[in-house]
Amino acid sequence: MTMDAETLRDRVSAVNWFQKMELPYGIITNGEVEPNRTLRRLRLPESFAGREVLDIGAWDGFYSFEAKRRGAARVLATDSFAWSGEGDWTTQAGFLLAREALSLDVEAQFIDVMELSPESVGMFDDVLFIGVLYHLRDPITALERVASVTRDRLFFETETSLSWLPSPATAIYYPSRLKAPRGAVDTSNCYAPNPAALRSMLRAVGFGDIRIVYRQSLPWRVARSAVLGLRGNAGWLNRFRSQRILIHARKES
């Protein structure tokens, strides 16, 4: 990297970041989420040496860059919604600046998850699918697309609900997603399946050895909802019902 600290700091401040990450000179991006927390819970392998990694819904590229740091032979970051600036979200500017600042060889392709295929992006040993599924109108087809480009392992994080129902496989659908007031329901949310539904969906598209490696605990959800309730946030009950989980799955041969 050829930028000095002052130049980088000025360029960072001009970007609307989504992910908080550390860049050279100890500069921290002003992101809305802290992916380091999810990274610890995701339990990625210490080394991706010799592996090809796909990061679906990369946003500012935090997980893409982490895979490259862990020795991946090739990393492809993909996104469409976040990079387009649609709905006053971020653009690709954060990813491009972070890649330049970190001097990491990470490829980028502007493509929607529904357009993924071996022909459009290739095949990958490891696929990261983090924080995307519950925003999609057709989650089953999305998982089919993800499975079609996965050779081996899937590292998957999503929103769930109704987690106290071990069966049947079911999901909450937000039919008024475009009308819901922000805070009551995230207006970008579509589905919140329960863990049984996620397992069934993953098996249906060809994944096996499906393991939940992390789920938000009941005390954590109670505390989060209580804080929101005290702040007068209309979404406190939905936040209590929701539970983020992280899954490792392997493609069946």
Helix (H) or strand (E) holding 228: helix 218-230
Give the pLDDT confidence of 45-86 residue by residue, as tens digits.
Answer: 999 999 999 999 999 999 999 999 999 999 999 999 999 987
Instruction: For residue 12, give both structure tokens.
Output: 């960072």
Closest-CA residue to 143 (of 225, 191, 207, 238):
207
pLDDT reported for residue 169 = 83
Specify the pTM.
0.87
CATH architecture of 5-177+189-217+244-251: 3-Layer(aba) Sandwich (3.40)
Following DSSP, what letter does each residue of 56-122 receive, concatenated? ES-TT-HHHHHHHHTTBSEEEEEESHHHHTGGG--BTHHHHHHHHHHT---EEEE--GGG--TTTT-
Q: Nearest-CA neighbor of 247 among 165, 107, 143, 95?
A: 143
Per-residue pLDDT reduced to its tens digit, 124-135: 999 999 999 998
Q: What is the mean pLDDT of residues 7-32?
A: 96
Interior angle at CA 209, CA 203 and CA 211, nearest 5:
100
**Residues in Cβ contact with 14 at an 8 Å cutoff, skipping those fewer than 6 apart:** none
DSSP state of 181: P
Q: What is the mean pLDDT of the chain?
A: 86
